[in-house]
């Protein structure tokens, strides 16, 4: 990933959302604090789109990464939640109202030749009956949460499932 300047609006939103995230992985908050003293690499944002029953997650098949949540780089001047909503629409053809509190914040490298970057994961609920479209040969599909999926980020499966279980406990319902 190439570095691009981050606007104060973006940095403020990244900082606030990182602190508010329900789950933290990879020591992301400390990573962001350290990165603020240097040059911040690009920020990533993704969407954990769930069906109304919270039994399926909407994923896209990336040519190198396998099945992953829709997402990508936060563009110049965007906030992470704006980027997540944009990526969801671009990669799946559907829009959703994203929960303003991120489900997770993490740090990962998306390619071996890229430096690690901070990523924020937002959640939305979408009707599975809506037609899906794909972007650049990356098909989108609803994957049952009870099944494992092929991905270079296998920890995502547990993280998404854990969020669904936590969310269900908050609502007093049963997860998938």
Candidates 97, 99, 106, 141; CA nearest to 122 is 99
* Residues of the chain where predicted confidence (pLDDT) is lower than 50: 1-2
- pLDDT on residue 79: 97
- pLDDT on residue 170: 78
- pLDDT on residue 151: 96
- pLDDT on residue 173: 63
Distance CA 49, CA 67 (A): 13
The reply to whether the predicted model has a pTM over 0.85 is yes
The CATH superfamily label for domain 8-171 reads: Nucleoside Triphosphate Pyrophosphohydrolase (3.90.79.10)
* 46: three-class secondary structure by DSSP: strand
Chain centroid to Cα 3, Å, comes to 20
- pLDDT on residue 175: 63
- pLDDT on residue 176: 60
Candidates 22, 162, 4, 167; CA nearest to 83 is 4
Would you list the domain boundaries of the chain? 8-171
Query: Parallel, antiparallel, or unpaired for β 104-108 and 23-24?
Result: parallel
- pLDDT on residue 77: 94
- pLDDT on residue 85: 98
Q: Which helix (H) or strand (E) holds 48?
A: strand 44-50
- pLDDT on residue 167: 86
């Amino acid at each position: 990933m190439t570095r691009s300047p981050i606007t104060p609006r973006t940095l403020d939103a990244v900082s606030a959302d990182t602190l508010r995230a329900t789950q933290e992985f990879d020591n992301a908050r400390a990573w962001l604090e350290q990165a603020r003293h240097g040059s911040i690499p690009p920020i990533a944002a993704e969407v954990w789109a769930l069906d109304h029953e919270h039994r399926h997650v909407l994923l896209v098949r990336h040519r190198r990464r396998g099945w992953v949540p829709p997402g990508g780089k936060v563009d110049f001047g965007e906030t992470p939640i704006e980027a997540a909503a944009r990526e969801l629409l671009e990669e799946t053809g559907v829009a959703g109202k994203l929960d303003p509190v991120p489900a997770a914040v993490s740090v990962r490298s998306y390619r071996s030749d890229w430096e690690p970057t901070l990523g924020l994961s937002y959640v939305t609920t979408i009707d599975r009956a809506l037609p899906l479209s794909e972007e650049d040969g990356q098909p989108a599909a609803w994957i049952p949460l009870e099944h494992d999926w092929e991905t270079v980020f296998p920890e995502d499966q547990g993280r998404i499932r854990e969020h669904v279980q936590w969310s269900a406990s908050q609502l007093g319902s049963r997860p998938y």
